[in-house]
Structure 1
């Protein structure tokens, strides 16, 4: 399958028509309020890794502008999951997994939409990034490397002690130790260009004042766009069905600024989705239920597919359901026996939003589902459970619970968007490219703002790897001009 590339120099106008003024790449007229060697837009994992590497490569004047009030980004709220082979941890365990097997599995799971060269670079570098985190940042990893459900079949998953929050202190210490200039609550609004080259950015500081920062090189490390509903729908119309479970600041600023400067983008229809309650975007309670039915009372998917592996298929199934039923939710169903077996029946009765009924007819009345359709769907599922074979959707899970013992439970459910797998195109030096592959001089990108070159367990390490690669290329370029 060919990569889906699009050139959207007018993306900002498309996205914000009728909503707000679109940012445009700015000409260099006017004075600059600060001049630096390296400007990093975004203080998440990619930006921090790049700043640390840049300082260690000898770049002296580095600035991070971060629109929130803290460093760390989404990484410090994550599960602290890092895939990698041939690390200090795996070598201590005498554990060796072939990198070719990892690359092959990554491509299969993403249906070969991943750029071959960049994916290879990502996976081959992931172990080195983990070692760098241990040796340079002082990140503590658990001593075991595991196969994690939903993250592929290979024993490559490293877990940070304390999950994502275990990254916060090493991140902050590494930045402080190198005396890197950090401007919190400072939002970049546009890139500044001169003769086709990016030479800095316009920002708004913590006092609401516009400032202009000149830089020899600029890194976009602004994260994804799943919290921007208008942007989600504009780049891929079917995404309008999905709310986000991400932090509110994941609004696609870098994507819009870079495309205004001429950057190419690709795979913007690829968004990973996770099961959540309609009224509680952080709850994973629906995973405990047995089957899902639409408002039409019918099953529509294999409920036990993992979001990481089957994200696009799940997303397509949900889009089809919502288009058919006209509502943007479905119902997770379970019975008393299954929830008692999992020892959560009492919790389910007390859980806000759970509909409980003594009979399926009563459950249908409370949920607005046609009773005869619902009962037929449940009867069909029960026949599958009895023989442990799903003739409709090929479900293979061992949890073959029938829905036959009252009371019955229903929970209004949907899928929320999480990781964006599309974004700015870049090359092996983390330089931002146009649609024809040519480089936009002075502009680099790393992290979720760029198009995905990884799959399960490599998202944060991908961000940090390309953040470091960008810094190394910037350092070499600056040195070459001296």
Structure 2
């Protein structure tokens, strides 16, 4: 085994994980004059950030202010305290509020990534104190991947595949979902296609969403010659007298020890791809096949932190969202559930929650209702009809496009001429399903869901159809009918190492593990069990990566 006696194996700061949080920490530490090494367990950079839509929820940031969407810190604090409750130390929430705007400004100033407001993408709880129906989410501006040269081949792709050069922003996505019921949807599609054609003719390789953010940040690292080691998984932390002084990794088939003079920042994701950890910590049914998180997120950082004495929290939770288990991978449902003419039932054929609610709440409802009623909810079924299929995009398929035969063959989608036949095929009581549909259709006629208040919130209506009385509730009655299997998917787990406002890892007794920092899904989420708005995963990840780097630099210079 190699030792860390050589200067080439010693750095001021070692960052583990090349997603948004890790790259922010690496860039910030470098800017403070520290030598930095970034480690990545896979062959590509970007992690779950690259796979995501790239939304960032950081209130009062520069892009929001430019759009006239700034707000007071007091409003943000009131909102977060109300929705998070007592699950998180308020000092961590205050640190996020105070440093988040500076973190995003830092990314803009020290990389090629830039951001813009997503108009009208509501906070997930806009009716809460301090909530905003106008939204506080920003997204990356489109970027030309050619700026990072050959490194582009190492970019982790988005979990949804799109033709090369096609850039779909959040506002575009919203309109595209209404293509069969809104001329603006078709105009949007034509605009995107035209932009793609122009970029291809100009030999540009344009990217949007999380990939755009990570291309921009990778450019910042390349410009500064910050080393990034691929295929170098973390195996453990090195402790001396209770202090973390480095990491153990596997590189080129050999174990190596790398020393960190000032600190180690873990930013290597959650444990969504670790079957053993999911079975240990989370409610059944659960597994690794329904997540859209990056493949490298196997919990290595969490397990290493625990061996070093770190406390863990929120290990039973995740950034949940109902998913359709398609044969080529899970489809994380955003707009599908909010659009009118669909509903979700359990295996008793009954609705049990507001289908258009924030996706983390939707899966919480799935587990909680199953435990409370004793009725099987796994899978649940999203029921919709041909009118819905004619009007709206579904799981990436434009309106009226036939559903692939392999989807039917896998059992993820079921089709029938009548509701009774559909009930028989999906194994729910036909009389109960008919009663549930009849009641739901009554709500659609009046525009008021008396059972679960679907459509009352501005968030419910964001992905809805403005041509319908209740944009989120429409009748189900025009056959053939469809059932889509719904399982508890996720964007990643949200439990991990407990940290303080400086992103330092804490022991069970609240004491600090000197030299160890954590951010992103390797740490216990500052959002607790909830989800403030689109980008409430990446926003805190980059913020606490920034905080960690600056705290390390401040204290290292004092030493």
User: Counterpart in 2 of 1:346?
Assistant: 400
User: Counterpart in 2 of 1:236?
Assistant: 282
Superposition map of 1:63-462 within 5 A: 63-142=37-116, 144=117, 146-149=119-122, 151-153=124-126, 154=132, 155-161=135-141, 162-205=208-251, 207-216=252-261, 217-238=263-284, 240=286, 243-279=290-326, 280-282=329-331, 284=333, 286-287=336-337, 288=339, 290-308=342-360, 310=361, 313-317=364-368, 319-320=370-371, 324-325=375-376, 328-342=378-392, 346-347=400-401, 350=404, 352-353=407-408, 354-396=413-455, 398=470, 399-454=472-527, 455-456=532-533, 457-462=535-540
**Structure 2 gaps, min length 5:** 127-131, 142-207, 457-469
Using the alignment, how far apart are the partners of 2:392 and 2:545 within structure 1? Answer: 43
User: Counterpart in 2 of 1:54?
Assistant: 29
Mapped contact 2:278–2:287 kept (Cα < 8 A):
no
Q: Secondary structure at the match of 1:51?
A: helix
Mapped contact 1:228–1:251 kept (Cα < 8 A):
yes
**Structure 1 gaps, min length 5:** 1-27
Using the alignment, how far apart are the partners of 1:395 and 1:185 within structure 2? Answer: 46
| 293 and 172 in structure 1: CA distance in 2 versus 1, 3 angstrom threshold | same
Aligned alpha-carbon RMSD (Å): 2.7
Using the alignment, how far apart are the partners of 1:464 and 1:113 within structure 2? Answer: 21
| 321 and 336 in structure 1: CA distance in 2 versus 1, 3 angstrom threshold | farther
> Once the 2 structures are TM-superposed, how far is the Cα of residue 219 of structure 1 from its aligned partner?
1.2
Using the alignment, how far apart are the partners of 1:319 and 1:246 within structure 2? Answer: 25
Q: Secondary structure at the match of 2:115?
A: coil
Q: Secondary structure at the match of 1:448?
A: helix
> Once the 2 structures are TM-superposed, how far is the Cα of residue 428 of structure 1 from its aligned partner?
2.1
Using the alignment, how far apart are the partners of 1:232 and 1:96 within structure 2? Answer: 39
| 268 and 239 in structure 1: CA distance in 2 versus 1, 3 angstrom threshold | farther
> Once the 2 structures are TM-superposed, how far is the Cα of residue 290 of structure 1 from its aligned partner?
0.9
Mapped contact 1:286–1:411 kept (Cα < 8 A):
no
TM-score (norm 1): 0.85
Using the alignment, how far apart are the partners of 1:395 and 1:169 within structure 2? Answer: 38
